[in-house]
Amino acid sequence: MDINRETLRTWVARAEVDAGNRPGTTTDQAHYITEFEREVRELRRANAIPKSASAFLAAGLDRPHIR
């Protein structure tokens, strides 16, 4: 097999973490964290829309109406 030494070392370390033989974040935990971070980004984006609309509407109410 023509596998880079560093690649093999990384695979072994990952397998040891996943097996609980070495401290670190397991593959399952890393996937969970990634999904959680993605969900947080989406929620922040979704919350920004009403905030922007609210600020826009509030600014419009503060200005005097010219006729």
| Dihedral sign (CA 28, 34, 40, 42) | negative
pTM: 0.63
The 8-class DSSP code of residue 35 comes to: H
pLDDT digits (tens, 9 = 90+) for 28-67: 999 999 999 999 999 999 998 888 888 777 777 766 666 6
pLDDT at 58: 77
Tokens of 56: 């826009």
Q: Give CA–CA dist 43/35, Å, rounded.
A: 12
pLDDT at 39: 98
